[in-house]
Amino acid sequence: MSFQNPKFLSASTNAATRVKASGMRSWARRGKRWVYTKTRRNLRYVSMFGMGLVAVWLPSLGYITTATPQFTSQFSLILPGAGSSTSVNLNKFGQASSYANSAFANGSISPTETYKRLIVADRILNAAAMVEQVSREDFGRPKIKLVDQTNLIHVELSADAAPAAQSRARALLASFFAEIDALRQDEIVQRQAGGEDAIADYVTSVRANRTSISDLREDSGLMSADQFKGRVAALEVLAERLQTLNGTAASQASRVANLESALQISAQHAAATLKLFSDEEYRVALAELAEAAALFTTAKSHFGGRHPERQAAQRTHETAQKAVLTLAASVTGFSMAEVRSLDRAPDGARADLLSELVREHATLEALRKEVSTLSAQHRKDAAEIQRLEPVASELEDRQRDFAVAEAVFASAIARSQSSKTDIYASYPLVQVLEDPNLPTRPSSPKTKLVLAAAIAASLMLAIAATLGWYRKALIDRILTRPTASAATP
């Protein structure tokens, strides 16, 4: 075991530190060899810096000289933010309306994100590659950028040549719009397929209601509730007319009764009297009776009761009177007693009164017959209305059900037809804001950008090497500062 003086060790260490910190040449023992340390350190940093430059510039220059030029065609799409609405008036059925909200009304769904994903879908890229007659790998994958705070979709697609890039961008755009149209048509077809079952049910309901209405009409003879209402109104009119006729008939009967009382003869007898005096044979017989009566009166005034002339005149008078009565009974159809009570002196004003009595009585009979006829009709119509009242109520209910079923059916048809116009409900309208352009310069390789990056990397390597070179001197200077301050006193 060896002993060393601490002061001697400290002094030798400080001296060595001062020699290294001053940057003077020094020798160091490395095992059994002494090497010149500063020269090797310079070589190490120079070699590291050189390898860094090679690692930076060799790939950069190789990329610039060997990379195939790529041309990028760009186009932009825009989604209008407004919704749309349609309204159709259907005669006798009502109104059919459809309204499509704005594509951006729902904050949880972004149509721009949907279309971004759809543009890079495999079926769209495969369709575009097939149009361009290139493989899917050679066609490439478009770069899509959504511009913030706008409805814009910016698309870029690269190719080896400028016309090829533009052509591929157009093929991609056409395939995208074709797929959008196909999706919209598929949505319409699915909606119609889903609505056909409901429409079929509506058709069945309408037919069933129509059949039930037809059966009820055929069984009852009532065509509609309006017809029943018309019958009720006609019955009310008939009742009012019957009431008026009853009043008129009562007034007419009073007039006839007054005439009969004044003339002391019934209307039938007055009619018979007038009929008799209109008969020519009766008037001749009545004239002969008057002559026989005159002769009999003369004979009574000149002869006694047993005188032959008086008896002959009496027999002639009785014969003439009997002939008149017989003829009157034959003409009027009355009995002899009734014929004897007839007024056989209708000349003058009395004849006019008899005629008026007959006329008024005929009017009364006409009124009574009309009242009788209307009364029978009223009873018949009232009974028919009483029978049809529950039928009319049932028919009205069935017609209401039919109207509702028909309205629902028409509404379903209208919605089915109007939905065909609402093709932007699920897939909003998209328009081409900028057509695919023809690039005028390659988009890659970007020589200036690569050179700038290489130069920047070289500068960073130089700075790193410089800092590494001065690192040891700075550390030694920091370590020696406390020793120098302690030796000053």
90-100 pLDDT per residue, tens: 555 555 555 55
- 102 contact partners, CB below 8 Å, separation of at least 6: 81, 82, 83
Q: Coil, helix or strand for 181?
A: helix
Phi, psi of 29 (to 5 degrees): -90, 125
Report the distance separating Cα 270 and Cα 274, nearest Å. 6
Is the model's pLDDT at 359 over the cut of 80?
Answer: yes
Report the distance separating Cα 338 and Cα 346, nearest Å. 17
pLDDT at 486: 47
Give the residue from 209, 202, 203 showing the smallest Cα distance to 400. 209
- Average pLDDT score over residue span 147-156: 86
Least confident range from 104-113, 114-123, 383-392: namely: 104-113
What are 162-174's pLDDT values in tens digits?
A: 888 899 999 999 9
Least confident range from 57-66, 167-176, 212-221, 341-350: namely: 341-350
pLDDT at 316: 79
Looking at 111-224, list the stretches that DSSP marks H as alpha helix, in order from N- to C-terminal side: 111-119, 122-132, 136-139, 162-220
- Give me the percent of the chain exceeding a pLDDT of 90: 9
- Average pLDDT score over residue span 403-410: 78
- Claim: this prediction has a pTM higher than 0.75: no
- Structure tokens belonging to residue 47: 């070699």
Helix (H) or strand (E) holding 132: helix 122-132
Is the model's pLDDT at 178 over the cut of 90?
Answer: yes
Give the residue from 109, 141, 110, 103 showing the smallest Cα distance to 125. 141
Domain boundary assignment for the chain: 6-67+445-487, 75-212+427-434, 227-402
C-alpha distances out from residue 267 to 205, 278, 344, 363, 387, Å: 69, 16, 14, 12, 43
Kindly state the DSSP code that residue 151 receives in the 8-state scheme: S
Give the residue from 420, 394, 444 showing the smallest Cα distance to 190. 420
Phi, psi of 27 (to 5 degrees): -110, 145
Q: Which residue has the higher pLDDT, 26 or 368?
A: 368
Is the model's pLDDT at 234 over the cut of 70?
Answer: yes
